[in-house]
Every structure is written in C-alpha cells, then in structure tokens.
Amino acid sequence: MSASRLRPLIAGNWKMNGSRAQTEALVQDLKGRLASQPGLAADLLVCPPAPYVAQAAALTAGSALAVGGQDCHAKQSGAHTGDVSAAMLADAGGRYVIVGHSERRADHGEGSELVAAKAKAAHEAGLIAIVCVGETEAERDRGATLDVISSQLEGSVPADAEAANLVIAYEPVWAIGTGRTPTPEDVATVHAHIRGLLKAWFKDGPEMRILYGGSVKGSNAGSLMHVPEVNGALVGGASLKAEEFWAIALAAAGA
C-alpha cells in the first residue's frame, strides 16, 4: 500500500473543554453518525480531558469510535501528584494518547526527551502514541521548519515505535487555534520530509500515519486531507462540534 493511501485517522483533541453532559452528547452524536455510515474509510478518535476518558470509553463500547488521552506520565505509577499514567488511560478504555502537543511543550516545558519517554510508556501500556511536532512562527520565518521538525522527531520518537503503535502529528504552532493554515504545498513539503525520516528509521516507516493539525475545519479539510502523505488530521476546536468533526472525517475518507 502506498503511504498516501493509508487509512486516515481523524483525531479530536478536546483540550481542557467539556463536562460529563457534553461528553455524552458529543460521543452519542458521533456514534450515531458512524453507525449510519459503517463503511466510512477513516478511523475516528476523540481525546477528552482525563476525567472523561472512562465515560467516553464506556459510551463507545461496541462502536468504531476510539477514545484516547491528551497526555500521560513517563512512569506507569508512583509519587507524581496530579499526573495520569498510560496504564491508567488503557485501564479506563483508552486506545491512544497524544504526547508532545505544543501546548504541553510550551505550558509545561516538555522537551523531546521527555516526549519520547512518554511515547515509550504509552507503548508499554499497549496504547498508540500520537507524537506531535511543529515549528513556531519565528522558526518558520527564518526558514528553519524542516530542521526543527527533524530534531523534534529524532528526539521524540522512541526506538520501539512501529506503525501499529505510532502516529505522527505535524502541527505548526502558529496554525493551532488561529484560523491560519499553511498552504497545501507547504504541508506537502513537511509531510514528505517526515515520511523520508520515518522510512529511513523504521522498516514499516511507509505505513506510519502522519496527521496534519492546525485550524482544520470542515471548509478546509478537502484541500488539506488530500495532500500527499497526509493520513488524517489532529483537530482541536472543530472537534468540539460533531457536525464539523464529521465533515472533516467525510473529507478525509473521500465520502
């Protein structure tokens, strides 16, 4: 299978938004849409805040909608007040976890070495790690995008990664939550670069999914989801609205 034909993954990062009631409403809405289109050629994932992971997982039992966490600790248990481990997310019914999101890198000073340890912990707990990388606007302006992506990837992807447990999300920091997106040509350049590195490092590098993230919505998904080497989307704001999230899924699936 060529890498550009990998089954797309549309992942919703709810960030620090939601409640029990909103989790119920959004998950039930997406479940209903999926049930009405069982042949949809895309995987759907929602990543609610940690307190709602178990609730979302219980609601999705028996459906194709997957659930994940937004972060995990590098250790599976211990004296780490306020943290959540990959083992706990798995125990709560999660299948994926996002690590290295730029908001965690910025708000919590997380570096690539820690991100790699978190991804490794995710793998040990049987989760699929979604490793995020992306350049800031200043890095882009000085023409350093590909260098930044190379070094973040090199530092953040653990050696035990394989296509079954690793997804990369390319998220330009300046495009997250801003309504701005790179051109499809720029996305193609970065994704081709990431694919080249994954192929050089891993036997199954051609099968590892590479998501684009940053202000994806229903109206721009058509142009972004069909860029070569884009295998789905990591969606923030638009994942809180079932209609928008579904429109992105349909665009990615070519439905």
Angle between helices 145-156 and 184-201 (to 10 degrees): 40
**137 φ, ψ (degrees, to nearest 5):** -65, -40
Nearer to ligand PEP, 103 or 229 (CB): 103
Contact 172, 182 (CB under 8 A): yes
Structure-token match 């990062």, residue found: 13
Active site residues: 101, 171
Give me 232's structure tokens.
């789905």
Nearer to ligand PEP, 12 or 205 (CB): 12
What is the nearest approach in angstroms of ligand PEP to the Cβ of residue 91?
A: 25
What is the nearest approach in angstroms of ligand PEP to the Cβ of residue 35?
A: 25
What is the nearest approach in angstroms of ligand PEP to the Cβ of residue 77?
A: 28
Please report, to the nearest 10 degrees, the dihedral formed by the alpha carbons of residues 168, 174, 180, 185 taken in order.
-50
Nearer to ligand PEP, 12 or 158 (CB): 12
CA-based nearest residue to 130, from 154, 104, 97: 97
Write out the residues near ligand PEP by the rule CB under 6 A. 13, 171, 176-177, 213-216, 234-238
Handedness of CA 102, 126, 23, 233 (dihedral sign): positive
Nearer to ligand PEP, 59 or 235 (CB): 235
Give residue number: closest CB to ligand PEP: 236
Contact 135, 145 (CB under 8 A): yes
What is the nearest approach in angstroms of ligand PEP to the Cβ of residue 15?
A: 6
**Cα distance between residue 163 and residue 137, in whole Å:** 30
